[in-house]
Structure formats: structure tokens, C-alpha cells
Chain A
Amino acid sequence: QVQLVESGGGVVQPGGSLRLSCAASGFTFSSYGMHWVRQAPGKGLEWVAFIRYDGSNKYYADSVKGRFTISRDNSKNTLYLQMNSLRAEDTAVYYCAKLPPRYGDDAFDIWGQGTMVTVSS
């Protein structure tokens, strides 16, 4: 079935690094742009990053620019988020998501179950 499965979350010290992965199945991953979205405990949704279907363009939230890198491997149907110089305020559940495109007709979204990242000493 159509699904996204995140992995790689955990507890890391401030200043540390972590790489999240998101395995896609059940749809043509290589045809769609993908997002990372996070949600701090008890807080709202915050968009983190976007990558075009072919990896040619990447956009980042100001709060993570220069520290996080989004990438993808279409041959492995996998999305990544490399997180460096982590801060306490990066603590959140991280979702990978396929959202409706900015330009295009498709109307479906797919979200993973989320992976928790905790930045703490």
C-alpha cells in the first residue's frame, strides 16, 4: 500500500548530528516533490524543507537553513534529512510528506508516522 516510513530519530546532544530517512512505497516516488515537516511537543506544524522530484531544487525554513540538508535517492525510493548543529529547539516529531504540488493537479497527500528527535544533554 501507499506509505512513507521514517527512521533515524533518537536522542542527541546539542551540537550533534542525526540523519533521518524516509522509505517510500506504493507510489512513484521519483515523480513527486517531497517535504519534511516537524512538530515540537504540544506545538503546531512547522515546515522544514522541500526537494523537487529530481532533486534539482531544495528549499529550507530559515530556522534550519545552513544546518539541515534534504536529499533523495530515487533509485532507493528514499528521502533523507541530514541534521547538523542540532539545538534544543529542534526537538520535535519529524514527518516526511508528499503534499499537493504547488503547480499541478494531483490532490493527494501522504504522511509518514513520524520519528521523534530529542536534542538534550
Chain B
Amino acid sequence: QSVLTQPPSASGTPGQRVTISCSGSSSNIGSNYVYWYQQLPGTAPKLLIYRNNQRPSGVPDRFSGSKSGTSASLAISGLRSEDEADYYCAAWDDSLSGPHYVFGTGTKVTVL
């Protein structure tokens, strides 16, 4: 059971802006960096955002991340058909049983 909560789905038409939220707690998002991953159908995940709002080389600037308190969000601007995928937030969690890396519940983005 994930400790990071995301909406199960989001959608938009081409060119629109879509935002995905990720809600956590003080032991994860509140005190650690947030990461975002994109998983295209039938493929392994790929890093989109690291350290809350940084893009790895090669990730389009249409993707942006932000964090405030115990929540984070991923925004996709200028939505394109190839953005149709599952998106997961992630963070380290300093639980009582030791450090854990946790993924969010995942959000399926549909391009209408």
C-alpha cells in the first residue's frame, strides 16, 4: 500500500496543460526530494523529474515539477499524443523501520 497518493487518471486534449498531484507526509515528501517517472505502455519506467523540479538531459521542458510542504505536482504543458502514459511520483521515506523508497499510486494520462 503506497504512502504517496495520486489521482488514478487525468486527461486533456492536445496542447492543453495537465497537472498531476502527489500527496505524502512529513516523513517522505516533507523532508526528501520528489522524483517523477513516466511509464509508456509495455516499457520500463523512465525518469522525468529529479530533486523536485530538475529535468534530466533529454526531457522536454514541457514537463515541470514542483513541491510544497508534503505535496508535489507534475505539470505537462502542450500535451502531445506521445505523453499518454502512466506517471508515478516517488520519494525516500524515513520510516520507523528504516529508509524506504516509495512510489505513488500512479496516474494514467489520456490524450483525448
By a beta-carbon cutoff of 8 Å, the part of chain A in contact with chain B is 35, 37, 44-47, 50, 59, 61-62, 65, 95, 97, 99-100, 102, 107-109, 111-114
Contacts and interface: CB of A to CB of B under 8 A. Distances in A.
Given A99-B101, A109-B47, A45 B57 contact: no
B98 A100 contact: no
A85 B71 CA distance: 36
B32 A113 contact: no
Nearest to B35: A100
A50 B99 CA distance: 10
Contacts, number: 69
Interface in B63-100: 86, 88, 90, 92, 97-100
Given A47-B102, A62-B97, A107-B56, A102 B92 contact: yes
Q: How large is the interface on B (under 10, 10 to 19, 20 to 34, 35 or more residues)?
A: 20 to 34
Interface of B: 2, 32-33, 35, 37, 39, 44-47, 50-51, 54, 56-57, 86, 88, 90, 92, 97-106
A114 B44 contact: yes
Contacts of B106: 44-45
Contacts of B2: 44, 46
A111 B105 CA distance: 19
Contact of B103 (A47, A113, A114): A47
Given A46-B103, A50-B99, 11 more contacts: A44-B2, A44-B88, A44-B105, A47-B102, A50-B101, A95-B45, A97-B44, A102-B92, A107-B54, A109-B46, A114-B44
